[in-house]
């Protein structure tokens, strides 16, 4: 009789890239085939990868965002109110805190896969689709240090307002459409909590507004999406006193 005793053992799952050594397909040159395994100790003895002719495989370009760019026009509409709390007797220096709502549409060449796997690729200029857009709405809480050269009798003045703005995502979607595909992903992996630096400068009604996010656009817990992608907005702001 023979008896085999087993001992519990925990191993990490891993992703491994196997470089393509020889191929007559140009699109496979200088590429790697990615596999996932629950038995990492077998990798040193691995001799080949198996493919199924009845399964569709994807070729993805994964790298930095050097080729990331805007596609068509992106828009951001924000409205709300800010409570002004004077910090000086003249009222020229104040603290502002408020509430707002933002509706955003970002057009770019970052395409999310249709299977909701959070994989992506950057479309080339030859692959511009009819639609490749991220839509999202957010609840906003701005906090500002505000300076202006106003007087009690003059409401036309220069202003410089700087601060931070916290945003909480309310709803989001991603839409893609070209001649071969047409799909929508609800609630893509956009960071639910956004924080950014704001700077508003102008005279009277016309003001220039700048927003630079301080954290990633995508959820940091999703490793397959680029963490270095951040929001930058530049536009006009109108104040109603």
The tens-digit pLDDT sequence of the chain (241 residues) is 556 667 777 777 888 888 888 888 776 777 788 888 888 888 888 888 888 888 887 777 665 677 788 888 899 999 999 999 999 988 899 999 999 999 999 999 898 888 767 788 888 776 778 899 999 999 999 999 999 988 767 778 899 999 999 999 999 999 999 888 899 999 999 999 999 999 999 998 889 999 999 999 999 888 778 888 999 999 999 887 7
Q: 3-state class of 127 per DSSP?
A: helix
DSSP string, 160-194: EEEEEEEEEEEEEEEEEE-SS-EEEEES-SB-SEE
Look at the pTM and tell me if it is higher than 0.85: no
**C-alpha torsion angle, residues 51, 57, 61, 63 (rounded to 10):** -60
Residue 47, classified by CB atoms within 10 Å of its CB into exposed (0-12), middle (13-18) or buried (19+), is exposed
Backbone φ and ψ for 186, nearest 5 degrees, come out as -85, 140
2 contacts: CB under 8 Å, gap ≥ 6: none
Residue 152: DSSP 8-state? T
């Amino acid at each position: 009789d023979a008896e085999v005793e087993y001992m519990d053992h925990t191993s990490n799952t891993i992703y491994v890239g196997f470089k393509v050594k020889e191929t007559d397909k140009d699109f496979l040159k200088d590429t790697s085939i990615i596999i996932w395994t629950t038995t990492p100790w077998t990798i040193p003895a691995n001799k080949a990868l198996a493919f199924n002719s009845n399964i569709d495989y994807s070729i993805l370009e994964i790298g930095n965002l050097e080729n990331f760019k805007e596609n068509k026009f992106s828009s951001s509409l924000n409205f709300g109110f800010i409570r002004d709390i004077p910090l000086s007797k003249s009222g020229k220096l104040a603290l502002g805190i408020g509430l707002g709502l933002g509706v955003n549409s970002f057009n770019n060449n970052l395409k999310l896969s249709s299977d909701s796997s959070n994989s992506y690729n950057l479309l080339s200029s030859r692959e511009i689709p009819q639609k490749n857009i991220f839509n999202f709405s957010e609840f906003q809480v701005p906090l500002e240090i505000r300076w202006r050269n106003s007087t009690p009798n003059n409401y036309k003045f220069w202003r410089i307002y700087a601060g931070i703005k916290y945003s909480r995502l309310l709803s989001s979607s991603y839409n893609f459409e070209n001649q071969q595909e047409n799909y929508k992903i609800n609630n893509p992996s956009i960071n639910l909590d956004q924080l950014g630096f704001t700077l508003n400068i102008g005279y009277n009604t016309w003001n220039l507004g700048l927003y630079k996010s301080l954290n990633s656009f995508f959820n940091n817990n999703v490793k397959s999406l680029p963490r270095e992608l951040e929001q930058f907005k530049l536009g006009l702001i109108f104040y109603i006193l």
